Structure 1
């Protein structure tokens, strides 16, 4: 694994030790950023279930100004910190060991708002729709924010969720990427 493009291009990223984390492949990462970028002029990114931190590190390398990365696994948190240090992006990131739903509540209390969110929970956890609703209820998404979900290709996410409209889906073997966009000015149910 490596940073594909931007200021930290080519820098290698460490994997989380053990079998508990499924890192996003460089091929999928490149495809995601061709769909949502490929580069950014500032903005804030949230990476829930961050694993190695590869997606948000890529976003920072491509121009996002700040990232919040969360994961519950201590080995993942240690790996994220090492990868941020190796890419020279530590000063642009906050890293927290926390459950995703608790992290969303804490970020909402801080009145944070994100332009890009990565959701990549373990495939066995079927909580994506719930997390999307919590992002909306917590006012954590800026107008036009994009939410990128990495999930099992067998799962389908094609319906709008509140003010989030479905934009695109792409499959890469047993992995699928679904992208939602926060529709500016739309009313949020709930």
Structure 2
């Protein structure tokens, strides 16, 4: 596993040890960033179930201005910090805790996101709950993108509240859906 492109392209990343965390493969990371735009000029990225941190670190490498990576596993947090140490980048914040609780704390600080990656454990599909929480807490900038990674048995809707699916793709056992957020006026 590595950072594929951008200013940190080629840097090898550690994986979370054990079988409790399912890494997003390099193939899926490349698909995510080819569907959302390969490079960015700033913006704030959120990964709610960060695992090794690979997706958020890829976003930083490709030009996102800031990334917040959340995971509740101590082992995952340690791995993220090991990977972050290879980059020496101060624009990444690593938070240990329950993603839903942390979202409330971020909302209290008036944090807003331009891109959110949601890849919860497949057995606990919480994508629609996360979308609701992002809206209810006013955590998204207009035109924010939300990337949902699910197993291939989950069929996410084309439209949900203020979200419209703009791209979707199946990769064997995994589905990716990219939602665009539009603030209701």
Q: String of CA shifts for 1:64-122, please: whole Å, max 9, x gaps.
A: 01011100000000000111111222x01111111111011111111100000000000
4+ long deviations beyond 3 Å: none
Q: What is the CA RMSD across the aligned residues, in angstroms?
A: 0.9
Structure 2 counterpart of 1:83: 83
SS at match of 2:31: helix
Structure 2 counterpart of 1:33: 33
The more displaced of 166-175 and 45-54 is 166-175
Q: Distance in 2 between the 1:88 and 1:55 partners?
A: 17
Q: Distance in 1 between the 2:180 and 2:56 partners?
A: 18
Structure 2 counterpart of 1:57: 57
Q: Distance in 2 between the 1:103 and 1:109 partners?
A: 10
The question of whether the paired residues in 2 share the 8 Å contact of 1:133 and 1:161 is answered with no
Structure 2 counterpart of 1:135: 134
Instruction: Please report the TM-score for the alignment, with normalisation by the length of structure 2.
Output: 0.97
Q: Distance in 2 between the 1:6 and 1:186 partners?
A: 34
SS at match of 2:149: strand
Q: Distance in 2 between the 1:103 and 1:178 partners?
A: 23
Instruction: Please report the TM-score for the alignment, with normalisation by the length of structure 1.
Output: 0.95
Structure 2 counterpart of 1:186: 184
Q: Which runs of 5+ in 2 are unaligned?
A: none
The question of whether the paired residues in 1 share the 8 Å contact of 2:125 and 2:150 is answered with no
Aligned residue pair count: 185
Q: Distance in 2 between the 1:59 and 1:98 partners?
A: 21
Q: Distance in 1 between the 2:161 and 2:175 partners?
A: 22
Q: Distance in 2 between the 1:88 and 1:165 partners?
A: 36
SS at match of 1:124: helix
Matched, 1:161 2:150: no
SS at match of 1:142: strand
